Structure formats: structure tokens, C-alpha cells
């Protein structure tokens, strides 16, 4: 059976899907806020918005990343086109089910939406077992946390528990924990490569083992505590520690030297948002600052910024093109911190600023991912270029 080219590689269909859904879901949210659209789904619109950005947009980005990276880590055979098509179909079915949840039984919506991550994780397990390493196997644990968090949301929506908020926060923090691990791995490595390409004598990023361990362990513990619904004082204290550890790690990675290279600088910006967001969320749980603002630093800045950076870089690199961000994508990188600032202002200064900041942040997010889609669409939908042999 012949499949469209977007199913040839996991990064094609899932990075495309993440961009399309990031634009579409945010556009509906903005339209609802402005009174331009009705909500066809069963949950409250704000819960739908949070759920779909976490378990819709972000999990699509994770799917594309893991289906691409795990075979490279282990030497295992990449997932065949039929599997990529099936698992992409499961992800899409979840989005459709939640969209039409107002007309479907809640248990059916849950069953459909919860199917994607286990199928993806099962394939990743078969690939990881070829060369099992603890630092890679831990992603199965984090994917399990994401799935459990989504289950908590659906248990609430089916009337079994009252765990919607716990599940949404747990899912967000579990994905942030993956960023702490993956971002902490690729950001200094890609920075080192870029600096050496520019100057073989350049000072390189510094990683310190105690900080690496603390940054990863505290981020994962924060996620676990959020999923478990642990006391706010405990979770907040650990989250502040995770944010400080992330900031300490970033301090050694020579961020200032990357400012002229957007495809590298964007990784640093996403990791900086992770550090800031974890610390701000922890402080909010301790009674200092607005929680909703901190959650959006993590959602827009850490998850949105880092996924935009990684998806664009992987798409360009795996298509055989030079690792240079196209102009529209570089502009998209720069827009994400602006969206974070506006959404934070909306949370910190309610009243007129709420409407302005929320609408502005949503429109800027849409613009950033629309630029990403326009620039990278030809990469996802065309074969890898064939390099001419040297004369």
C-alpha cells in the first residue's frame, strides 16, 4: 500500500499536525473569548482549551520527536509508514472525539482520547529495548505520567472524580519535565556544535553533573507531585527548586554567544521560560504571584517555545537542509516571548488588561505557528533533496 509522503517519517505528519492544531485550537479559543463562536464540546471552554493545548498540541509534538529520535538513539528500525499513519489517526481521533464530546458519551470520548499515548509508548518500548539505557527508558515513565494526567481529566468529565484541575496541571508539568530532560540534553550539545562551526577555539557550554541531576530529578518530582495532587506547599517548594536548578544549568550554556543564530537561540529561550515558569508556578503555590500567569509561562514559553524550536530544527535537519532557520520561523521564535509577556500581564493586572493581554497573546501565538507552517510546509510534503555529487 502506498501512503502519502507525510507518513514516510514521524516528524513530517506530527510536526505538521502540531502546527495546524496549534493554530486551529488557539483560533477557536480566541473566537470563543470574543463571543464569535459557540463551544460544541462538553467541558467548559477554558478546560477544553487547556486540555487540547496539553494533550492535543503538545502530544503531537512529542509523537513526532520520539518517533524520530528513538531510532537514532538505539539503532532500531524506524516505525513503518502504516504505523505512523495509524498512530497519527489515533491522535486525530482523540481531537475529534473531544471536539464532539457534547454529543458523545463521556466514556467513549475518554477511550478514544486515551488510546494514542499507549500505542505510541508500546512502539517506543520495542525500539528502546534494542539498546536500553536508563536515561532513555525514563521517557516511558514520563509518557505514563502524561497518560495518567489525561485519565484524571477524563475521570472528572465522566463524573467519577473531581480531578480536572489536577490532571491538567499534572499533564502540563509532565511535559515540562520532558523538556527539562530533552532540552537539557540537546541545548548545550547543539550550542557546542554551532560554536565550533563558527570558531574552533570558542569557549564551549559547561555542564556540571550535580546541576544536571538536580535539574532533571526536581522537574520529574514536580510533575509526579502535580499528578498525585500533593499538598501545594510541598509541590511549590520542589517546583521553585526545579526552576532554580534549570536556571543554574542554563547559566553555563553560553546563551549570549547564540544570539546571532536563531535556530540555537530559540532552544535557550525555551529553556529559560522553563526555568522562569517552574519558579513562578512554585511561588504561586506558596501564595506569591498569580498561578494562571505562571502556568502560561510554562504552556506558551516553555512548551510552545521549545516545541517550535525543536520541531523546526528537526524538520530542517532531517530533510537534509542546512541548519539555518528561515526568516518566518526566526520571527516566530521571537514572537513567543512577546506572547508570554502579554499573557502574564493579563493574569497580573486584571480588568481591561485581561482582555487585551489574552487576545494579544492568542493572536501572537497563531502568528508564530502560522509562520512556522508556511515556511516548513514544503519540507514536510516533498522528498528529501538529492545532493549532487561533487565534481
Give residue 254's pLDDT band: very low, low, confident or very high (50, 70, 90): very high
CB 135 within 8 A of CB 184: no
Sequence-distant (6+) residues with CB within 8 A of 127 are 70, 71, 74, 76, 77, 79
C-alpha distances in Å from residue 277, one per residue of 224, 323, 333: 17, 28, 18
- How far is it, in rounded angstroms, from Cα 54 to Cα 150? 9
**Residue 390's pLDDT is what?**
33
The neighbour count for residue 347, using CB atoms within 10 Å, is 22
DSSP at 304: I
CATH architecture of 5-381: Up-down Bundle (1.20)
Give residue 388's pLDDT band: very low, low, confident or very high (50, 70, 90): very low
Residue 391 has pLDDT above 90, yes or no: no
pLDDT digits (tens, 9 = 90+) for 101-153: 999 999 999 999 999 999 999 999 999 999 999 999 999 999 999 999 999 99
Helix (H) or strand (E) holding 113: helix 106-113
Residue 49 has pLDDT above 60, yes or no: yes
Kindly report the pTM of this predicted structure.
0.95
Residue 78 has pLDDT above 60, yes or no: yes
Give residue 387's pLDDT band: very low, low, confident or very high (50, 70, 90): low
C-alpha cell at 59: 502530544
Q: Which residue has the cell 481591561?
A: 352
Amino acid at each position: 500500500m502506498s501512503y502519502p509522503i507525510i507518513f514516510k517519517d514521524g516528524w513530517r505528519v506530527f510536526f505538521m499536525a502540531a502546527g495546524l492544531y496549534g493554530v486551529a485550537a488557539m483560533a477557536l479559543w480566541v473566537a470563543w473569548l470574543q463571543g464569535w463562536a459557540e463551544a460544541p464540546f462538553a467541558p467548559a471552554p477554558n478546560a477544553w482549551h487547556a486540555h487540547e493545548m496539553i494533550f492535543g498540541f503538545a502530544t503531537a509534538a512529542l509523537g513526532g520527536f520520539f518517533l524520530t529520535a528513538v531510532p537514532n538513539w538505539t539503532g532500531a528500525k524506524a516505525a513503518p509508514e502504516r504505523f505512523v499513519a495509524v498512530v497519527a489517526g489515533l491522535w486525530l481521533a482523540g481531537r475529534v472525539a473531544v471536539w464532539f464530546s457534547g454529543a458523545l458519551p463521556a466514556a467513549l470520548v475518554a477511550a478514544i482520547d486515551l488510546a494514542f499515548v499507549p500505542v505510541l509508548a508500546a512502539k517506543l518500548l520495542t525500539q528502546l529495548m534494542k539498546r536500553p539505557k536508563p536515561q532513555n527508558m525514563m521517557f516511558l515513565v514520563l509518557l505514563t505520567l502524561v497518560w495518567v494526567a489525561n485519565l484524571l481529566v477524563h475521570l472528572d468529565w465522566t463524573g467519577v472524580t473531581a480531578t480536572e484541575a489536577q490532571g491538567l496541571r499534572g499533564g502540563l508539568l509532565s511535559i515540562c519535565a520532558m523538556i527539562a530532560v530533552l532540552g537539557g540534553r540537546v541545548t548545550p550539545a547543539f550550542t557546542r556544535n554551532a560554536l565550533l562551526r563558527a570558531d574552533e577555539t570558542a569557549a564551549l557550554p559547561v555542564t556540571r553533573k550535580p546541576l544536571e541531576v538536580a535539574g532533571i530529578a526536581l522537574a520529574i518530582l514536580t510533575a509526579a507531585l502535580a499528578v498525585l495532587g500533593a499538598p501545594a506547599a510541598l509541590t511549590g517548594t520542589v517546583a521553585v527548586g526545579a526552576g532554580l536548578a534549570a536556571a543554574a544549568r542554563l547559566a553555563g550554556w553560553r546563551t549570549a554567544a547564540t544570539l546571532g543564530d536563531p535556530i540555537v537561540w530559540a532552544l535557550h529561550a525555551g529553556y529559560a521560560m522553563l526555568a522562569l515558569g517552574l519558579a513562578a508556578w512554585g511561588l504561586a503555590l506558596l501564595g506569591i504571584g498569580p498561578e494562571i500567569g505562571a502556568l502560561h509561562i510554562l504552556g506558551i514559553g516553555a512548551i510552545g517555545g521549545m516545541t517550535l524550536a525543536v520541531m523546526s530544527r528537526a524538520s530542517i535537519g532531517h530533510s537534509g537542509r542546512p541548519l539555518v532557520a528561515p526568516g518566518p520561523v526566526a520571527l516566530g521564535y521571537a514572537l513567543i516571548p512577546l506572547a508570554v509577556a502579554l499573557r502574564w500581564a493579563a493574569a497580573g493586572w486584571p480588568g481591561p488588561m485581561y482582555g487585551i493581554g489574552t487576545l494579544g497573546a492568542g493572536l501572537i501565538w497563531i502568528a508564530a505557528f502560522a509562520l512556522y507552517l508556511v515556511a516548513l510546509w514544503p519540507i514536510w510534503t516533498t522528498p528529501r533533496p538529492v545532493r549532487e555529487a561533487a565534481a
